[in-house]
A and B are shown apart, each in its own frame.
Chain A
Amino acid sequence: MKNRGIISGCMAIVLLIGSACSPLPVVTETATPQLPDIETTELHVFAAASLTDAFSEIGKRFEAAHPGASVVFNFAASQQLAQQISEGAPADVFASANKKQMDVVIEAGEVLSGTQRTFVKNRLVVIFPSDNPAGVAELEDLAKSGLKLVLAAQEAPVGQYSLDFLDKASADPAYGAAFKDDVLKNVVSYEDNVKAVLTKVSLGEADAGIVYTSDITGDMAGKVDRLDIPDGLNVIASYPIATVKESSNPDLAQAFIDLVLLPEGQDILANYGFIPAAE
């Protein structure tokens, strides 16, 4: 078993290296606010996966406006971020894709209730590959037998919203009570987060998926086509943002949130398909 010896030897080395690399000391409290450009201060922003593109751009603006600050993003499904923060992950700002996951963090005592603000809204849209293999033309087609539908898992906000939309449609006589069940029979995968849904549809592996309007930006717009969900059936998602109580740099965290709420940040978000909070 010489071979397995080598493999386990390599694994031991990898683990050794991994455990030896403790995180580099991050200068936070030691940095004097008067001289922010001497030391680099890291701001840890935990944001919902759907915010990836928009927040990355806001992050660059923020760094330009705050010399010495470096924004470190952790983009993932909101429920994962909520879990991580509740378990004590070092976050300064939490931007969730729904109220529920913000509540999880508030209940865990990591965010002061009442300090969260709605900074943007989003709505659902049905997407399908540009060459439309299943011939999706209207919402009723989602119930067509044999269609391969990909949804986000119910644990993710967008997954729950998708189910809410199907509930509303089933209550509507135009779609019929069986609509939700028929659509759910077509689900071939409950993806972990909204970006995974988008990827599976844009690759053409699935015939249709449900994502946020804000997801269809940039080069994705050329790969997938969209089918709008009427307002009456749609779910408008409100995104709350807040500073985390244990933030090592609350002032900088608040400055980041301010930028998101200012017209400058709202414009960037609107460019990525979000609905500004004021609307």
Chain B
Amino acid sequence: MISLGSQDTPIASQKVSPRQVYAAWAAQSWKLLALPLLLFLTIPLVAIWTRTSVADFWATLRQPQAVQAITLSLVSSFTTMLLALLFGTPLAYLLAQRRTGFTRFADTLIDLPVVLPPSVAGVALLIAFGRRGLFGPALSTVGISIPFTMLAVILAQLFVAAPYYVKAAAIGFTAIDPELKQAAALDGAGHWQTFRFLILPLSSTAMLSGMVMTWARALGEFGATIIFAGNLPGRTQTMPLAIYIGFEIDLEVALTLSIILICLSFFALAVVKGFLHRKLAADFESSSE
């Protein structure tokens, strides 16, 4: 919270001249400059709550379109998170190895989906995996057509959100003292054993926070999904899509789903920032003792 009063002024027993008080206040006044952006970022998130009532919220939650969108969003985002864990861990481990030109290049490539507009991701996915895309003909010979399916939803989410996990896990892997790994090797631990009993436990916090961030980002995915997966209630219409399409006819659905997304995202961030950071700090202290 912002406090304009100053805790660092001398205690009351000493004589404080008004000039000193003024100086103390003036020294703190820069904090006012933090207010505009703080308000700008919080007001819309609060405002959205003022347009709906609890009764409307529950009524909307029972509408099939809302239920379908919530179910689809949860299933697809959790699948994305698990896929990121499964395929992202080896990649993160590779990136955490000795820096070479290749790993640096791969590292930059992985950052790209994070900064690219998701619409670019959608078009790129369509060109790669669409029916007429690079791999489209090959996929269709085995009877797979990805666009307009839930698989397309998951791939869109994975493309946009997996980098969060990979980066976080790689940082966790890098932070492990190389001497520990050498000691393990000296004790006769194999590659897998080192990974399983040393690296995995030590970087579990980083991996977990990366997973939560990937899940939250996947949950909010919109641009790539609507381009690559289309919009069909029950199959590819996730919550962000239902908000976008529903905004025009049924503001109530859009509001309810928005509130759910705000809550889930806040929860995800709170988990990462609160619990995991405290655990990280504790780990750090215990390891430096």
Interface on A for B, CB 8 Å cutoff? 1-4, 7, 12, 15-16, 19, 77, 79-80, 83, 148, 150, 153, 155, 187-192, 200, 203-206
In the assembled complex, 19 residue pairs joining A and B whose CB atoms fall closer than 8 Å, in A order, are A1-B277, A4-B272, A7-B114, A12-B37, A79-B248, A83-B248, A155-B245, A188-B148, A188-B230, A189-B148, A189-B236, A192-B231, A192-B245, A203-B132, A204-B130, A204-B132, A205-B131, A205-B132, A205-B147
Whole-angstrom distance between the Cβ of A78 and the nearest chain B Cβ:
9
Enumerate chain B interface residues (CB-CB to A < 8 A).
36-37, 40-41, 114, 126, 130-132, 145, 147-148, 167-168, 171, 206, 209, 213, 226, 229-233, 236, 244-245, 247-249, 272, 277, 280
Q: How far is the CA of A11 from the CA of B51 in the complex (A)?
A: 28
Q: Which of A4, A80, A188, A203 contacts B248 (CB 8 A)?
A: A80
The majority secondary structure among interface residues of chain B is helix
Roughly how many angstroms separate A79 CA and B246 CA in the complex, as a whole number?
11
Starting from the known contacts A7-B114, A15-B40, 17 additional A-B residue pairs (CB-CB under 8 Å) come to: A1-B206, A1-B277, A4-B168, A19-B36, A77-B248, A80-B248, A83-B248, A153-B231, A155-B248, A188-B230, A189-B232, A190-B232, A192-B244, A192-B245, A203-B130, A204-B130, A205-B131
**A19 and B148 contact, Cβ closer than 8 Å, known pairs A4-B213, A79-B249:** no
Cβ 8 A contact of A200, one of B230, B244, B272? B230
Partner of B148, one of A2, A77, A205: A205
Secondary structure of the A contact surface, majority rule? mixed
How close is A160's CB to chain B, nearest CB, in angstroms? 11
Q: Smallest Cβ distance from B163 to chain A, in angstroms?
A: 10
Tell me which residues across on chain A come within 8 A of B126, comparing CB atoms. Answer: 203, 205
Contact indicator B230/A150 (Cβ below 8 Å): yes
A1, A4, A15, A204: the one within 8 Å of B131 (CB): A204
- Give every chain B residue within 8 A of A19 (Cβ-Cβ): 36-37, 40
Point out the residues of chain A lying under 8 angstroms from B236, CB to CB: 189
**Residues of A contacting B230 with CB < 8 Å?**
150, 188-191, 200
Contacts of A2 in B (CB 8 A): 171
Could you tell me if B245 and A153 are in contact, using CB atoms closer than 8 angstroms?
Answer: yes
With contacts A189-B236, A192-B231 taken as known, whether A3 is within 8 angstroms of B167 at the C-beta atoms is: yes
Complex Cα gap A3–B226 (Å): 29
- B231:A191 contact, CB within 8 angstroms: yes
What is the minimal beta-carbon distance from B5 to any residue of chain A, in angstroms?
26
**Closest CB of chain A to B143's CB: distance in Å?**
12
- Please name the residue on chain A nearest to B209 by beta carbon: A1
Kindly list chain A residues whose C-beta atoms are within 8 Å of the C-beta of B213.
4
B131 contacts A189, C-beta separation under 8 Å: no
Query: How far, in whole Å, are A70 and B191 apart by their CA atoms in the complex?
Result: 67
- Give Cα A83–Cα B254 distance, bound, in whole angstroms: 14
**Smallest Cβ distance from A258 to chain B, in angstroms?**
30
Of all chain B residues, the one with the shortest Cβ separation from A200 is: B230
CB of A59 to closest CB in B, whole Å: 25
Q: Report which residue of A4, A148, A204 has the largest number of chain B beta carbons within 10 angstroms of its beta carbon.
A: A4
- Distance in angstroms from B49 CB to nearest chain A CB is 18
Residues of chain A within 8 A (CB-CB) of B37 are 12, 15-16, 19
**A1: B residues at CB distance < 8 A:** 168, 171, 206, 209, 277, 280
Chain A residues near B229: list those with CB within 8 A. Answer: 189
Complex CA–CA separation, A190 to B284 (angstroms) = 51
CB closest residue in chain A, given B213: A4
Given A4-B213, A150-B230, A187-B232, A205–B130 Cβ distance below 8 Å?
Answer: yes
- Which B residues touch A150, using CB under 8 A? 230
B272 contacts across to A, CB distance below 8 A: 4
Contacts of B131 in A (CB 8 A): 204-205
Complex: how many Å from CA A105 to CA B130?
A: 39
A16 to chain B, nearest CB (A): 6
In Å, the complex CA distance between A77 and B226 comes to 15
Q: Which residues of A contact B245 (CB under 8 A)?
A: 153, 155, 190, 192
For B115, the closest partner residue in chain A by CB is A10
Question: CA separation between A3 and B36, bound complex, in Å?
Answer: 26
